[in-house]
Amino acid sequence: MTHIPTTVSVPVPQGLRPRCAEATCVVRSNTPVNGEYRLLTLDAPEAILDCQPGQFFQLLCPAPEGESPFLRRPMSIYGYDKAAGRLEFLYKIAGAGTRGLATLRPGDAFNVLGPLGHGFSMPENWQNLMLVARGVGLATLAPLARMAQEKDRKLTAICSARRPDLAMSVDLFESYGAEVIVVHDEDGSSTPEALRPLIEARIAKGKVDAFYTCGSSRLLRLLQDLGNAHSIPGEIAMEQQMACGLGMCQACVRSFRVGDRIIQRRVCREGPVFPISEAI
């Protein structure tokens, strides 16, 4: 049965964030990409495709047999194409919500809400970019590589994983012109101790103006140390459990360090992208 994508606008006070909408999309495909992750591709209406890298959607996951997911599942955008009417999510089956996602078949209707949150920025003086992430965190940063290519920036992508075959988005980053470096746990190349000299060598050659990362606490601490030592700014997309995704429920509040103060921010509303230097 063919479903026609529909949207319902969600009013948002002007100036607080880009407009979001609730939409019924159509599943184009839902396929494994390796032993752990799956790629969900949707036919999506134009109203929800004014996206920024780093934003996310709230997905109304179908209920798998014997389970009843209560809340929508927040998920970062892996890919989007307004001209093609395409929206993509990369996910790992980990709970009732993602088990429900895995049951979707081509032609199924699927309800989403978004885009939500504030995405990555790319100031003009950030010409040489370094992306460092691990696992599904690389999915969040995939649209950033496309933006870097569109803005004619140079990009180095350090992709970390438990094993080489689980490194995500390598071909995608390469297709956007990035230098890709795969590191993994099996040979110890993914440890902060191994990554530090690798990154510092590129800093010494003037190849890093800004860092981008997502998810991993140990990678965040490494990039904070390097950023402080070499005066290199950057941004992180924070991962956090959420309920509403709109800022009303306060379930995703985290602490951030701003100057000599510790302040509280909602990851869904003020983020999910924040300065690396302020993340705790």
Per-residue confidence (pLDDT) for residue 242, from 0 to 100: 92
Walk me through the domains of the chain, giving residue ranges and CATH numbers. Answer: 6-116 (2.40.30.10), 128-238 (3.40.50.80)
**Secondary element (H or E) of residue 174:** helix 170-175
Q: What is the pTM of this model?
A: 0.89
Residue type for position 33? V
Is residue 61 part of an annotated ligand binding site? no
**What average pLDDT score do residues 49-73 get?**
91
**What average pLDDT score do residues 44-70 get?**
92
Per the listing, tokens 């993994």 go with 184
Is residue 106 part of an annotated ligand binding site? no
**What average pLDDT score do residues 141-168 get?**
93
Q: What confidence tens digit (pLDDT) does each residue in 180-222 have? A: 999 999 999 999 999 999 999 999 999 999 999 997 899 999 9
The overall longest dimension of the chain from CA atoms, in Å, is 58
Omega before residue 18 within 30° of 0, cis: no
Alpha-carbon span 80 to 170, nearest angstrom: 18
- Helices 192-204 and 217-230: crossing angle in degrees, nearest 10, is 30
Query: Is a pLDDT exceeding 70 seen at residue 12?
Result: no
Beta bridge partners of 155: 129
Q: Is 3 left (phi over 0), alpha (psi -120 to 50) or beta?
A: beta
| C-alpha closest to that of 138 among 123, 110, 159 | 159
Is residue 122 part of an annotated ligand binding site? no
Alpha-carbon span 167 to 259, nearest angstrom: 36
Q: Which residues contact 99 (CB under 8 A, 6 or more apart)?
A: 64, 67, 93
Helix, strand, or coil here: 12?
coil
Is residue 75 part of an annotated ligand binding site? yes
Is residue 85 part of an annotated ligand binding site? no
Alpha-carbon span 192 to 236, nearest angstrom: 17
**What average pLDDT score do residues 166-183 get?**
92
| C-alpha closest to that of 203 among 177, 173, 235, 225 | 225
Helix, strand, or coil here: 179?
strand
Hey, what are 105's tokens?
């078949």
Is residue 51 part of an annotated ligand binding site? no
Is residue 214 part of an annotated ligand binding site? no
Per-residue confidence (pLDDT) for residue 64, from 0 to 100: 85
Is residue 41 part of an annotated ligand binding site? no
Is residue 244 part of an annotated ligand binding site? yes
Alpha-carbon span 118 to 157, nearest angstrom: 22
Hey, what are 148's tokens?
């870097």
Hey, what are 199's tokens?
């990154």
Is residue 252 part of an annotated ligand binding site? yes
Alpha-carbon span 227 to 213, nearest angstrom: 12
Per-residue confidence (pLDDT) for residue 5, from 0 to 100: 52
Least confidently predicted of 117-126, 132-141, 153-162 = 132-141
Look at the chain and count its residues: 280
